[in-house]
Structure 1
Amino acid sequence: MPLMRIDVIKGHDETYLKKMLDVAYEVQLDTFHTPKGDRYQILTQHEPVEMQILDTGLGIERTKDVVFFNLVTRPRTTKDKQAFYQKLADRLHGELGIRKEDFIVSLVPNNDDDWSFGNGEAQFLTGKL
């Protein structure tokens, strides 16, 4: 059950943004083996000054097409995480032309007791999910 937050700089059309969301969801299904319909995505567009995504000493130059993915998710294996990073970068590059250098991912693991999907219940703990 990942919660995917995606931050981009304003200027992309709706078709581009929808494709980005669809690709990210498909890669999530494939690599994290989440159930179909388990889709929680929030995309936020920012003014250029609101996203300062600099190099961390890797020699990576960013462009206005930088995309920052932050996923809050149940624990995943290192193998699945690496597959997610690679497949998402490959598909976003191949299908939307996003440079792999402009693609950043951060995964934040959490546990079953960290989720409530409504009604004040922890559905993973009650067995409803």
Structure 2
Amino acid sequence: MPFTRIALRAGKPVQYRKALTDSIQRALVATFNVPKDDIFMLISEHDAANFVYDNQYLNVQRTDDLVMIQLTVSNTRTLEQKKALYQRLVDELHESPGLRREDVLISLVEVVKENWSFGNGIAHYAL
């Protein structure tokens, strides 16, 4: 049920982008109990003029390797699960594709379950 948007600077090879999506999916499966085949992700690449960030906000030293990850999820996770996801995500992304932990920005967007339709005009999670 997560819908993931990944934004990064243009120019990374396809293997790098694949490592991003694989790492994010592993973290979601491990911490949010997402089924392995529940994967919906978009990657957008941006030139320098269209990839704007502060390289030291909150005393985190970021580089141009910054990856911004926005996850739209159902509002069913606990604070502990969210913290576990953040940690697992940076660990997975550090392992492969080798991102610095400081270069991972994560944003969760929580929606109620009836706000999902996976096709055919059906509200799949509506009670």
TM range (shorter): over 0.9
> Structure 2 matches for 1:19-98, cutoff 5 A?
19-55=19-55, 57-75=57-75, 76-98=77-99
Return the TM-score normalized by structure 1.
0.91
Q: Gapped runs of 5+ residues in structure 2?
A: none
* Separation in structure 2 between the aligned mates of residue 41 and residue 105 of structure 1, nearest angstrom: 14
Amino acid corresponding to residue 74 of structure 1 in structure 2: S
* Separation in structure 2 between the aligned mates of residue 64 and residue 56 of structure 1, nearest angstrom: 12
Contact 2:55 2:63 in 1 (8 A): no
Amino acid corresponding to residue 13 of structure 1 in structure 2: P
Give the number of aligned pairs: 126
Return the TM-score normalized by structure 2.
0.92
Identity %: 35
| Correspondence 1:105 to 2:85 | no
Q: 2:108 is paired with a residue of what secondary structure?
A: strand
1:20 shift after superposition: 0.8
Q: Gapped runs of 5+ residues in structure 1?
A: none
* Separation in structure 2 between the aligned mates of residue 121 and residue 66 of structure 1, nearest angstrom: 36
